[in-house]
Chains A and B, each alone.
Chain A
Amino acid sequence: MSSSNKHLSRRDFLKVGATALGASAYLAACGPSGGGAATGPDLTSGNSIPLDELTAAAKAEGQLTTIALPHDWANYGEIIETFKSKYGLTINELNPDAGSADELEAIRANKESKGPQAPDVIDIGVAHTATAMADGLVAKYKNANWDTIEMKDPDGYWWAEYYGVLVFEVVKPDIVETPKDWEDLLKPEYKGKVAMAGDVLKSNQSVQTVLASGLARTGGDITKAAEAGLQFWKEMNESGNFIPVIADQGRIAQRETLIVMEWDYLALANRDALAGNPELEIVVPESGVLAGPYAGGISAYAPHPYAARLWWEFVMSDEGQNLYLKGYAHPIRFNDMAKRGVIPQEMLDKLPPAEAYAKAFFPTIAQLTETKAYITENWRKVVFGE
C-alpha cells in the first residue's frame, strides 16, 4: 500500500508542479482533501469515501484504466461515456474481449508497473473471486450503497454488480401453451422442441441450466440440485423433448429450436435483434431461478486508486445500476431499487415482471465449483446412458 501512496504523491507533484512550480509540491501532495499524510482520503480502511473528496482526488489522478468491458455487453459503452462526461476523467480501456482469467493475469503481470497496462478496476465471473483474493490481487472498498448489494464479500474485496437469471426463450406463435416452470418442459406437447444455448461440456451457461432445473426439483436445496438436474435432463432426453443442438440466434430465427434456456440479458437482446420475426416470449420460471452474477473489484496495485473507487461509486449508484438494466443486465441492487421506485417504468415494461426476480438464487463460489464438477463428470453417463 505504501508504494502506491508514494506513487500518487509523485504523480501529483509532477502534475501540479508543472503549472504552479516547485513550491506547490507540499500542497499538491496533501491533496484536495487537505489532510492525511501526502495521500488524500484514507484507502486502507475500505470504508466509503465521501463523494466530493473522492471526486477531487480522482480528478487529480485524471485517468482510469479499465479492462474487459465490451461496449455492447451489459451497456458498458454508455456506462463508460456517462462516467467520462460526468467526472471529466479520461478512460484507458484495455483489451475489451479479455476473459476473467486474463483480467487477473493483467494485475499480476503489472504489480511493479504503474504504466498504462495496469488495470485499476476489474469485472470478473464470481467464480474467479476466490483466486483474486487468495493471490492478494484486489483491494477492499465498500461503496456508499454497500448495504443493499445482495451478493458480496463481507470484507469488501469484491461485490456483484449485475446478474442474469436463466429464462425460457419461447418462439410464438409456434408454441401455443407457454411453459411456466421447468417441470412443464417435460410435457409431451414439447416433444422435439427444447434446446440449450450451449454445450454442457463447454459452456458454463449450460452447466447452470442443468443446475437450475435441479434446483426447481429439490425445492431450492442446492446440495442435491446437481444430481436432480441430471435426472431432469435424462427424462428430457428420454421423452424426446430435448433436441441436442446448440440454439444460437440463427436456429431460433429459423424456428428449429422453439424453446431455449438462456441468460435473460442474452434472451432479451435476441428478442430485440429478431424484432418480431419470430416473436419471442421471455419467461422467468416459477421455481429454480438461478442467478449468474459478475463481480467487480479494485486492483490492489491500481495506479489510480481514487479514480477506481469513484468508478465503483458511480457504477453501484442508482444511476449506474439503471444503465446496466438498459442493457438488460439485472443490477444487483434491483430489488432495493424496485422497492424505492427509482427504476423508470419504460425500462421495467421491457423486462419480465420484477417479482419473478425476487426469487433469484445466488449460489456460493464453493457450490458453483462443486456442482460444475459433478455435472460435467456425470452428464453423459446419466443423461445419455453412455
Chain B
Amino acid sequence: MSAVEKISQPPARKVDWNWLGIAPFFLFAIVFLFLPSLSIFYRSFQANDGSLTFDNIIALFTVRDIINAYKTSLTISLITAVGGAIFGFLLAYAVVLGGLPRGIRTFMSTFSGVASNFAGVPLAFAFIATMGNAGLVTRWIEGIFNISTRELGFSIYNMWGLSIVYMYFQFPLMVLIMAPALDGLRREWREACENLGGNSYHYWRYVAFPILMPSLLGTMILLFGNAFGAYATAYAFSGSFINLVTILIGAQIQGDVLYNPGLGNALALGMIFIMGMCMAGYAWMQQRAARWLR
C-alpha cells in the first residue's frame, strides 16, 4: 500500500509553476473574448426593456436590410480574401523564389509589415486623398486627359472601391505569412521531381501546393476574418452608405436614429456564427490537406 502511495504522491505534490507563464494570456482571452461573447449571446435574446425575446434572431432572417448587409459583408470578404491571397501569393513567390536582388526582399517584408497594419481612419483618408473626387491621382488624370471624373460617374464610394481599400492591408498580410512558407520549399524537392521526369505542372500539383495548402487555407481564413470584421476603415470611408454588418451593428448600438442594442447583439452573434463555421471548415480542410504528412 505504502509503495503505491509513494509512487502516486510525488506528481500530486509537485507544484507546476509553468502555467503561470500563460496565465496572463488566458486571463486576457477570458476578459476580452469569452465574457464579451457570452454577453453578446445573452443580450441577443433581450428586448430593449430587458425581457426575453426571439425577435432579434428572427429579424436576422427576415429583415431585408440585414440579409443584404450579410450578403455585402460576405461578398467583400470573399473578394478581398481570394484576391489578396492570389496577388499576395504571387508577390511572395516573386520575392522569395524569383531570383530578385536580396535588397528587394528586405524592402518588401518591411513594407508588408507596415502596410498590413495600416487600416482604419488613416487608410480610408489616404484613399480618399488620392483617389477620391478631389484626390491627387484623380486630379492628375483629369488634367492629363482633360476630363471630369465626377461627370463620367467615376466614384470610389461603392463596394468595389471599398474592396480596393481593403486589399491594401490584405495582400501585404498574405506576403508576410506566405514568405516563410515559401522559404520552406527546398530546391531538392524540385530537383527530385525533375529527376523523376516531372515538369513544372507536376511539381506544383503534386509537391509544392500540397505542402503549402495548410498555410494557404489558414491565411485565407485570416484574410476573410480581417475583412469581415473591419469597421473603422469602412465607416471612415463611406459612413453607413455601404451596407455592411459591422456598420449596421454600429447604427444599432449608437446614434440617435435606429438604436436597438438587442438587435445589434444578434447581428454580432450572426457574425460569430459565420466565423465559427469558417474556422470549422478550415479545420476540416486542413486535416484533409495535411493527411499525407502523417
Chain A interfacial positions (CB closer than 8 Å to B): 99, 188, 191-193, 198-204, 207, 240, 243-246, 251, 254-257, 372, 376, 380-381, 384, 386
CA distance A381 to B158 in the complex (A): 16
B155 touches A243 (CB 8 A): yes
B257 touches A192 (CB 8 A): no
Q: Is B287 located at the chain interface by the 8 A CB criterion?
A: no
Q: Which residue of A lies closest to B139 (CB)?
A: A255
CA distance A198 to B139 in the complex (A): 26
Option from A192, A244, A254 in Cβ contact (under 8 Å) with B239: A244
Q: Is B279 located at the chain interface by the 8 A CB criterion?
A: no
Can you sample 18 A-B contacts with CB below 8 Å? Answer: A99-B256, A199-B239, A199-B257, A201-B248, A202-B255, A202-B256, A240-B153, A244-B238, A244-B242, A245-B157, A246-B239, A254-B134, A256-B133, A257-B133, A380-B64, A380-B65, A381-B64, A381-B65
A204 touches B256 (CB 8 A): yes
CA distance A191 to B155 in the complex (A): 11
- In B79-125, which residues have CB < 8 Å from any A CB? none
User: Chain A contact residues: over half helix, strand or loop, or mixed?
Assistant: loop
Q: Is B284 located at the chain interface by the 8 A CB criterion?
A: no
B240 touches A243 (CB 8 A): no
- In B236-264, which residues have CB < 8 Å from any A CB? 237-243, 248, 250-251, 254-258
B251 touches A193 (CB 8 A): no
B243 touches A202 (CB 8 A): no
CA distance A381 to B154 in the complex (A): 23
Q: Which residue of A lies closest to B64 (CB)?
A: A381
**Chain B 61-85 against A: per-residue CB contact (8 Å), 1 yes, 0 no?**
0001100100000000000000000
Chain B residues with CB under 8 Å of A243's CB are 133, 155, 157
Given A244-B157, A256-B132, list of 11 further CB < 8 A pairs?
A193-B133, A199-B239, A200-B257, A202-B254, A202-B258, A204-B256, A254-B129, A254-B132, A254-B134, A257-B133, A376-B257
A386 touches B65 (CB 8 A): yes
Q: Which residue of A lies closest to B250 (CB)?
A: A202
- In B125-167, which residues have CB < 8 Å from any A CB? 128-129, 132-134, 149-151, 153-155, 157-158
Q: Which residue of B lies closest to A101 (CB)?
A: B256
Chain A residues with CB under 8 Å of B149's CB are 192
A192 touches B134 (CB 8 A): no
Chain A residues with CB under 8 Å of B251's CB are 199, 201-202
B134 touches A240 (CB 8 A): no
Chain A residues with CB under 8 Å of B134's CB are 254-256
Q: Which residue of B lies closest to A171 (CB)?
A: B134
A256 touches B153 (CB 8 A): no
A244 touches B128 (CB 8 A): no
The 8 tightest CB contacts between A and B, nearest first, are A244-B241, A192-B150, A202-B255, A246-B239, A199-B240, A201-B251, A255-B134, A199-B239
CA distance A204 to B248 in the complex (A): 16
CA distance A118 to B138 in the complex (A): 56
- The count of residues in chain B whose C-beta lies closer than 8 Å to any C-beta of chain A is 31
Q: How many A-B residue pairs have CB under 8 A?
A: 88
CA distance A240 to B154 in the complex (A): 9
A192 touches B151 (CB 8 A): yes
CA distance A207 to B258 in the complex (A): 11
CA distance A99 to B128 in the complex (A): 32
Chain A residues with CB under 8 Å of B240's CB are 199-202
CA distance A256 to B106 in the complex (A): 37
Chain A residues with CB under 8 Å of B248's CB are 201
Q: How far is the CB of B76 from chain A (nearest CB, A)?
A: 15
B255 touches A380 (CB 8 A): no
Chain B residues with CB under 8 Å of A381's CB are 64-65
CA distance A192 to B132 in the complex (A): 10
Which among B158, B250, B258 has the greatest number of chain A C-beta atoms within 10 A? B258
CA distance A99 to B256 in the complex (A): 10
Chain B residues with CB under 8 Å of A372's CB are 257
CA distance A99 to B254 in the complex (A): 12
Q: Which residue of A lies closest to B151 (CB)?
A: A191
Q: How far is the CB of B232 from chain A (nearest CB, A)?
A: 13
Which among A198, A202, A376 has the greatest number of chain B C-beta atoms within 10 A? A202
A245 touches B153 (CB 8 A): no
Chain A residues with CB under 8 Å of B238's CB are 244-246
Chain B residues with CB under 8 Å of A240's CB are 153, 155
Chain A residues with CB under 8 Å of B254's CB are 202
Chain B residues with CB under 8 Å of A251's CB are 128
CA distance A201 to B264 in the complex (A): 13
Q: Which residue of B lies closest to A190 (CB)?
A: B150
CA distance A193 to B64 in the complex (A): 29
Chain A residues with CB under 8 Å of B157's CB are 243-245
B243 touches A380 (CB 8 A): yes
Known contacts A202-B250, A202-B258, A376-B257; is A245 also within 8 Å of B151 by CB? no
Chain B residues with CB under 8 Å of A200's CB are 240, 257
B129 touches A199 (CB 8 A): no
Chain A residues with CB under 8 Å of B155's CB are 192, 240, 243
Q: Which residue of B lies closest to A201 (CB)?
A: B251
CA distance A252 to B75 in the complex (A): 31
Q: How far is the CB of A69 from chain B (nearest CB, A)?
A: 19
- In B4-28, which residues have CB < 8 Å from any A CB? none
Q: How far is the CB of A330 from chain B (nearest CB, A)?
A: 21
Chain A residues with CB under 8 Å of B158's CB are 244
B133 touches A192 (CB 8 A): yes
Q: How far is the CB of A300 from chain B (nearest CB, A)?
A: 24
Which among B133, B241, B256 has the greatest number of chain A C-beta atoms within 10 A? B241
Q: Which residue of B lies closest to A204 (CB)?
A: B256
CA distance A203 to B68 in the complex (A): 21
CA distance A74 to B64 in the complex (A): 40
Q: Which residue of A lies closest to B68 (CB)?
A: A386
